[in-house]
């Protein structure tokens, strides 16, 4: 299995050499590849310290570290939604962009089942490390680990301390005052236990994280757990809206969802006589005809838009069980692909077996869901 070290780095690039040193000394799996998430403002200091000034190579030579892949291409600069690199992450908009960027990078790496991620939270702004830790909690797998690296207090914020050296090496201490011997420094790697929530989140939602924002994901999960779900049924857009998510349906699917909504908690009972009751077809087409005129839908019930709209007692074919099952399946798939598992379950089209018959109803009638019908 391939081992990857992923770290957030801010104004102290020494965190990376300290982490590599601590991993090597601890006997834990050493990374085959290293990636760093940072900002444009911190990049040059990172590149200068590790590559130009040679501190990374010095660590490799002094401790005979195993070979690993890491160069400037492995430094990922945080970007906003327009692809612009951020110099820092101070404003609310920059913080939001950082959260989105971090979760998408973690998502990308965790898609490979044959790699194990060691996530180091030691560097970067506190909010960056929080977003990083949360992304690992949301996406982390059994083989992934989370850690923080600690350095003895006299060596914190020491510009020329990059790792404990084998031989004595005196450097200026904190804020340039006094001197400290880098040989005497203690660097400790502490593994952080974390809750792995990946298995409790719908796989389809996991797959959609490359396009969802961090705030969207959090809002959906929190709303579901609080039981405060608000759903918008937008007729003009033919969408089911939950928070920032708008699940687009075809006119047929949206009309079907509205039709079932009109049936209330009891829904419909499909028995062997159901397809002979043309009133179901009539009620469904009344809703559909307001949304669209697709002749294929009307033909399903042996009529046309013109004939049905003309009124009168036009004969209709009854609604078939296969029609219900197909439309239900398609709608539920769209919900589960774009919403957390529990949220989707709360508003899906449920099916219940009752002896020789089946009942279909909207699950939202059995949960604390507020529905708003939009024209």
CA within 13 Å, CB half, 191: 10
Residues 68 and 135 in one domain: yes
Taking the CA atoms of 24, 185, 72 and 212 in sequence, report the sign of the dihedral they define.
Answer: positive
Q: What share of the chain is helix, strand, coil (3-state, %, to 5)?
A: 45, 20, 35
User: What does DSSP say about strands 229-234 and 239-242: parallel, antiparallel, or unpaired?
Assistant: antiparallel
Residues 365 and 242 in one domain: yes
Let me know: does 235 contact 287? Beta carbons within 8 Å: no
Q: What integer pLDDT is reported at residue 217 of this predicted model?
A: 75
Find the domain containing 228 and state its range: 203-374
Residues 180 and 222 in one domain: no
117 three-class SS: strand
Residues 346 and 247 in one domain: yes
Cα–Cα–Cα angle for 35, 39, 45, nearest 5°?
Answer: 85
As a whole number of angstroms, the distance between CA 247 and CA 231 comes to 11
Residues 246 and 143 in one domain: no
Residues 137 and 220 in one domain: no
Sequence-distant contacts of 93-96: CB under 8 A, at least 24 apart: 95/127, 96/213, 96/214, 96/215
Of 200, 235, 270, which marks where a domain is finished?
200
Residues 189 and 119 in one domain: yes
Q: What integer pLDDT is reported at residue 366 of this predicted model?
A: 87
Residues 189 and 208 in one domain: no
Contacts with 253 (C-beta within 8 Å, 6 or more apart), sequence order: 238, 327, 330, 331, 334
Of 166, 200, 234, which marks where a domain is finished?
200
Residues 189 and 44 in one domain: yes
Q: What integer pLDDT is reported at residue 313 of this predicted model?
A: 67
The phi-psi region of residue 107 (left if phi > 0; otherwise alpha if psi is between -120 and 50; otherwise beta) is: alpha
Contacts with 143 (C-beta within 8 Å, 6 or more apart), sequence order: 1, 116, 117
Per residue of the chain (375 residues), give pLDDT as tens.
999 999 999 888 999 999 999 999 998 999 999 999 999 999 999 999 999 999 999 999 999 999 999 999 999 999 988 889 899 888 888 988 999 999 999 999 999 999 999 999 887 678 888 999 999 998 999 999 999 999 999 998 899 999 999 999 999 888 778 899 999 999 999 999 998 888 776 665 676 676 677 877 776 666 656 656 789 999 999 999 987 788 999 999 999 999 999 999 998 888 888 888 888 999 999 999 999 999 999 999 989 998 888 876 678 888 998 999 999 999 999 998 888 777 888 899 998 887 778 899 999 998 888 888 888
Q: What integer pLDDT is reported at residue 9 of this predicted model?
A: 92
Reported pTM: 0.66
Residues 272 and 361 in one domain: yes
Residues 163 and 220 in one domain: no
* Rounded alpha-carbon distances, angstroms, from residue 313 to 89, 285, 310: 66, 14, 10
Residues 49 and 67 in one domain: yes
The C-alpha R_g of the chain, in whole angstroms, comes to: 29
Of 171, 200, 229, which marks where a domain is finished?
200
Domain count for the chain? 2
CATH number of the structural domain spanning residue 35: 3.40.50
Q: What integer pLDDT is reported at residue 357 of this predicted model?
A: 84
- What are the residue ranges of helices labelled H in 27-147? 40-47, 55-63, 92-110, 126-139
The partner residues of 34 in beta bridges, in order of sequence, read 5
User: Tokens 């991620």 label which residue?
Assistant: 117
């Amino acid at each position: 299995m391939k081992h990857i070290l992923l770290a957030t780095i801010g104004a102290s690039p020494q965190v990376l050499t300290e982490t590599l040193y601590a991993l090597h000394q601890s006997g834990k799996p050493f990374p085959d590849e290293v990636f760093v998430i940072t900002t444009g403002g911190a990049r040059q200091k990172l590149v200068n310290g590790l590559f130009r000034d040679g501190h990374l190579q010095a660590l490799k030579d002094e401790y005979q570290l195993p070979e690993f892949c890491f160069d400037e291409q492995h430094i990922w600069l945080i970007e906003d939604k327009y692809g612009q690199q951020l110099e820092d992450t101070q404003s609310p908009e920059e913080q939001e962009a950082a959260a989105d960027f971090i979760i998408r990078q973690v998502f990308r790496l965790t898609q490979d089942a044959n790699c194990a991620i060691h996530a180091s939270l030691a560097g970067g702004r506190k909010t960056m490390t929080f977003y990083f830790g949360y992304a690992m909690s949301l996406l982390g797998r059994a083989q992934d680990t989370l850690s923080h690296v600690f350095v003895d207090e006299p060596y914190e914020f020491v510009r020329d301390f990059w790792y404990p050296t084998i031989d004595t090496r005196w450097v200026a201490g904190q804020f340039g005052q006094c001197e400290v011997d880098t040989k005497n420094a203690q660097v400790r790697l502490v593994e952080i236990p974390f809750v792995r929530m990946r298995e409790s989140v719908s796989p389809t939602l996991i797959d959609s994280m490359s396009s969802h924002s961090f705030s969207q994901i959090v809002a959906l999960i929190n709303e579901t757990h609080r039981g405060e779900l608000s759903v918008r049924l937008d007729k003009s857009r033919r969408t089911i809206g939950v928070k920032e998510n708008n699940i687009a349906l075809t006119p047929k699917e949206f009309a079907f969802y509205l039709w079932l909504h009109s049936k209330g908690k009891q829904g419909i009972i499909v028995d062997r006589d159901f397809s002979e009751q043309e009133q179901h077809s009539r009620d469904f087409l009344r809703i559909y005809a307001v949304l669209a005129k697709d002749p294929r839908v009307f033909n399903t019930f042996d009529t046309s838009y013109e004939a049905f709209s003309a009124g009168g007692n036009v004969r209709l074919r009854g609604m078939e069980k296969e029609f219900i099952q197909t439309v239900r399946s398609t709608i539920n798939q769209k919900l589960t692909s774009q919403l957390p598992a529990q949220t989707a379950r709360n508003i899906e089209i449920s099916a219940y077996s009752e002896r020789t018959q089946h009942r279909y109803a909207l699950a939202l009638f059995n949960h604390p869901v507020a529905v708003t019908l939009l024209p």
